[in-house]
Amino acid sequence: MNIKQQLARAFILSICFAVCFGLIALLIHDRRLDAFDQTIIQWVQSLESSGLTLIMKGFTTIGSGLVIAILVPLVAVILYFVLGHRRELYFFIGVIIGSTLLNEVLKIIFHRARPTIHRIIDAAGYSFPSGHSMAAFTLYGVVAFLLWRHVSSAFNRSMLILFSLLMILMIGISRIYLGVHYPSDVLGGYMASGTWLTAAIWFFHKYGYATVATKVHAS
């Protein structure tokens, strides 16, 4: 796939994610997702058991700000000292910071209260979009994007994508299971993060790769 195709794909995906996020936000405002949210919550929480609760608490901890704060410097060290990619390091840090700021702004704009049906853990702040879901989508999405070029075999690439999808999905589900987010919060978080990440990838392809290609060609 050439650079023009990559740019077009990233741009189209960003628009699709943005439209989906806007649609979810509109449906939440009109309370047209209430039945959907209640149905999914009741089904997920009907699976409650002591063992599953421990697993879900584990996934939600992985998606917490503290763990993200540990993982981000670790990935940054690998990018800079192991792979020697300074430009990718700047991109990675910018994507993570941008996603965090975007989540805070969106929560203030929509100021949706958290569900109160059955709380297994406590959580403060507004509910929409889910911060854990946005952080998971952004972190594992950008890591998969950056590592993809350095993974040669199709099998390893498939494992990379499957692992990233599993972590994103389970962290989102854990927030529903633990009673601190509506399903629409999680979906909204995915869509918001998807919009930001694909837009950032578009920018990186257009300006980051282009600069590198120009230097390589000049040399």
* Res. 218 pLDDT band, cuts 50 70 90: very low
Contact, 17 vs 187, CB < 8 A? no
- Residue 2: the pLDDT is 65
Q: Which of 68-82, 146-160, 204-218 has the lowest mean pLDDT?
A: 204-218
Q: What is the rounded distance in angstroms from the CA atom of residue 45 to the CA atom of residue 120? A: 10
- Residue 115: the pLDDT is 92
User: What's the average model confidence in pLDDT over 145-152?
Assistant: 84
Q: What is the rounded distance in angstroms from the CA atom of residue 174 to the CA atom of residue 184? A: 14
Mean of all residue pLDDT scores within the chain: 90
- Residue 200: the pLDDT is 95
User: What's the average model confidence in pLDDT over 16-45?
Assistant: 96
User: What's the average model confidence in pLDDT over 197-214?
Assistant: 75
- Residue 56: the pLDDT is 97
* Res. 150 pLDDT band, cuts 50 70 90: confident
Q: Does the pLDDT of residue 210 top 70, yes or no?
A: no
In percent, how much of the chain has pLDDT > 70?
Answer: 94
pLDDT in tens, 124-144: 999 999 999 999 999 999 999
- Residue 81: the pLDDT is 84
pLDDT in tens, 48-81: 999 999 999 999 999 998 899 999 999 898 888 8
pLDDT in tens, 158-187: 999 999 999 999 999 999 999 999 999 999
